[in-house]
Amino acid sequence: MSRLITIRSKTGFFSFLVQKRAVLVLAVLFVFTLALFLFSMALGNNGLSFADVWTTLIGQGTEANALVIGTLRLPRVIVAVLVGAALSVSGAILQGLIRNPLASPDMIGITNGAALAAVTFITYFAGTVSIQWLPAAAFVGAGLISIVIYLLAWSKGVTSTRLVLIGIGISATASSLTMLMIILSPMSSASQAFTWLTGSIYGASWDNVYALLPWMIIFLPAAMIYARNVNVQELGDEMAQGLGASVQLHRGLLLLVCVALAGSAVAVAGAIGFIGLIAPHIARKLVGPSFDTLLPVAALIGSLMLMAADMVARTAFQPMDIPAGVFTAGVGAPFFIYLLYRNRNK
Amino acid sequence: MSPLFRQTPGKVWGLVFGFFLFIICFVGSIVLGTTKIPVMMAVESFIQYDPSSNDHVIIQTTRLPRALFAALIGSNLAIAGALMQALTRNPLASPSIFGINAGAVFLVVLALTFLPISSLNQLVWIAFLGAGFAAFAVYFLGSLGRDGLTPVKVVLAGSAMTALFTSFTQGMLVIDEARLQSVLFWLAGSIAGKTADGLLPVLPYMIVAGVAALVLAQPVNILASGEEVAKGLGQRTTFVKLAVAVTVILLAGSSVAVAGSIGFVGLVIPHVARILVGTDYRWVIPYSAILGAILLLVADTVARFVVMPGELPIGVMTGMIGGPFFIYMARKGLRSKGVSA
């Protein structure tokens, strides 16, 4: 039996191969995501039955349930799904681009740039400008810092090692500036900024969802469509050039997508670490390294991870609500160490 | 690159000059601030202390301890950095890159949250424990694999550990919001509002470790020429390495315990010292000590003026100096060390 399904239009206008395994994995993950989505909705301070959740979701629940689900849990879970997907897609692209399994947006300073811009925004503009603009600010920050990293790492092209090292230097600088902003700011926003910095989707509202959604609608599909270029990039600069790809242009565009996804995710959820690192690895284990299938799978896994982390964060230590970022780091850092171990001879 | 001072007399004079510069910065740190105090007044407060004079009180209770803190911590961190760079033969090694600061901070915050701890004495030991754990973890992770301890691997392992510790620290602080405000400034690395009492518990460790560093300088020289060479010359390398590691942990841990995480001093200063006197650690270590003290004194004095009337945590200042320096190193330094960057 063939492992691939061929899809081709009669005229040959489009034609591509689909891995059966990938389809299966995607379907299973999708079911999992859906199940966890409902489960997150039911679980919480005030437990609901699945039947209640369902009736509320289709608009026939009691008013109290509608409040709990409609204004508290639903936006939060949606934000978790979107942010998880964005972070992990951005990480997957970055790992392909840099050809380093240890790369992720938080590792090379993109997250810190976004955090710096967002904290600056919270400190100076929170009262006067709508919070709706926070993702834009974070995106600008992430973008600027990426340009800086890229330029500094440039010396007859950009190599991955230099990019990582420069990124670490930049992220140290950015986080000390962020600290500066937090300390300069009035106390009320200092604790707000600090909670946000740890990575939390606590108190996510529909505003957050609406702020995040346009970015996701544009850049997630863009990432999936453009991803095939990463496959070529992964072969190495000479090989990619030999195959006729304009390496630096593709790399720039892919970085832009990365930055947009990571920046907007950070803007809403703060610096949630390690999802961008781990999710792509799990995805690669499941469907192999080809980016056509890797990205959707990684996106689903990222969503699953953040939903799970947030669910634990808000239920495990009731009535306290712990930033989800603490859990993702708790799982992520040991995983990172495992990766270091695995790649020890490379 | 040949060092600036090649002959021993030149190095001695350089050290003397550095010491004078240090004295000037120290005095500057005492007299400059929100209230400017004439130098004569400062001298007077030492000769005949007058408790009714405002200036005298400020100098003796606030400025002097603070300047001492800055000087001691600066030299501690710089020496720690120099030893680490020698031990790992890695130009990017330093307490903050290795995650030592983050490890110590994490354990201190953990202890403050869950244990009934009040005395600084206990906190110092907890900080040592955290620093030691982080250092060994990163060293171990960084040296996995055939090519041993490469700069890139160490930096990656260090930033992973830092991320882990930092996020746990932040998690604990978010839960305990009341503590956040009091710890936040310390966390960012600060020596403001320190009294002389705060220094006493850590002073013995600092002195012991400082002396140990000077004693270890010669063995470190030998070790820096490579493990096989050192063994061939009859050095018990494991013992030397362990001694260096303990010294580093004492130096960095005690600094973190009293002043929080002050990054990059340990990265930048040893490089400056090597530019001045070459790679002989018998010179690099004293130079690092003096230069580190000068850097922190200057950073601390400047930190009082940037956001008048408030002030910056000194860790923010050093981060803003050190981050760019790290980038510079990553661009220039690695290439000459034969690392494919």
For position B123, what pLDDT does the model report?
78
Domains of chain A, residue spans: 78-342
**Which residue in the block uniquely carries the two structure tokens 């080809």?**
A290
Cα–Cα nearest to A263, from A83, A131, A122, A124 = A83
Q: For the whole model, what pTM was predicted?
A: 0.79
Taking residues B177-199, report their average pLDDT: 66
Is pLDDT of B11 > 90? Answer: no
Omega before residue B286 within 30° of 0, cis: no
What value does the mean pLDDT take over residues A311-329?
78
Rounded Cα distance between B126 and B110, Å, is: 10
Confidence at residue B337, expressed as pLDDT on a 0 to 100 scale:
45
Cβ of residue A337 closer than 8 Å to a chain B Cβ: yes
Report the distance separating Cα A219 and Cα A299, nearest Å. Answer: 12
* Res. B230 pLDDT band, cuts 50 70 90: confident
Reduced 3-state DSSP string for B160-209: HHHHHHHHHHHHHHHHCHHHHHHHHHHHCCCCCCCCHHHHCCCHHHHHHH
Tokens of B225: 């020429």
Element housing A6 (H / E): strand A4-8
For residues B66 and B181, which has the higher predicted lDDT (pLDDT)? Answer: B66
CA distance A57 to chain B (A): 32
Fold exhibited by the domain A78-342: ABC transporter involved in vitamin B12 uptake, BtuC (1.10.3470)
Q: Given this model, what pLDDT does residue B335 score?
A: 53
**Could you tell me the residue range of the domain that residue B129 belongs to?**
8-336
DSSP B264: S
Give how far the C-alpha of residue B79 lies from the chain's centroid of Cα atoms, to the nearest Å. Answer: 7
> Does A198 lie at the interface with B, CB-CB under 8 angstroms?
yes
For A166, which residue in chain B has the nearest alpha carbon?
Answer: B327
Look up the ipTM and state it: 0.71
What per-residue confidence (pLDDT) applies to B20? 93
A97 near A254, Cβ under 8 Å? Answer: yes
For B99, list phi and psi in degrees, rounded to 5: 80, 10
Specify if B31 maps to a domain. Answer: yes
Tell me, yes or no, whether B85 lies in a domain.
yes
Euclidean distance between CA atoms B54 and B36, whole angstroms: 12
The SS3 of residue B330 is helix
With contacts defined as CB-CB under 8 Å, which chain B residues touch A190? 181, 184
Alpha carbon distances (Å) from A26 to A318, B48, B176: 34, 81, 41
Domain presence at residue B2: no
Q: For residue A228, give both structure tokens.
A: 């095939």
Q: How confident is the model at residue A159 (pLDDT cuts 50, 70, 90)?
A: low
Cβ contact A265:A117 at 8 Å: no
Side chain identity at A21, as an amino acid letter?
R
CB contact under 8 A, A166 and B152: no
Kindly report the average pLDDT of chain A as a whole number: 79
Q: How many residue contacts between A and B have a Cβ separation below 8 Å?
A: 162
B contacts of A106 (beta carbons < 8 Å): 163
How many domains is chain B built from?
1
Does residue A194 belong to the interface with chain B, where contact is any CB pair within 8 Å? yes
| A246-275 residues touching B, CB cutoff 8 A | 273-274
The answer, yes or no, to whether residue B338 has pLDDT greater than 50, is no
Structural domain contains residue B1: no
* Domain-located, residue B319: yes
Does B193 score more than 70 pLDDT?
Answer: no
* N- to C-terminal Cα separation, chain B: 20
Mean pLDDT of A207-226: 84
State which residue of chain B sits closest to A170, comparing Cα positions: B323
The pLDDT-based confidence of B341 (bands split at 50, 70, 90) is: very low
Query: What confidence tens digit (pLDDT) does each residue in A45-84 have?
Result: 667 777 777 777 777 777 777 777 777 788 888 999 999 9
A341/B contact by beta carbon, under 8 A: yes
Chain B residue with Cα closest to A101: B156
Locate the chain A residue with the closest alpha carbon to B92. A165
Q: Bigger pLDDT: A15 or B208?
A: B208
Region A160-167: what's the mean pLDDT? 75
- DSSP, residue by residue, A101-125: TT--TTTTTHHHHHHHHHHHHHHHH
The proportion of chain A whose per-residue pLDDT surpasses 70, expressed as a percent, equals 84
Q: Is the pLDDT of residue A319 over 80?
A: no
B54 token code pair: 């405002």
pLDDT at A81: 92
> Could you tell me the CATH number of the domain that includes residue B31?
1.10.3470.10
Are the C-beta atoms of B297 and B236 separated by less than 8 Å? no
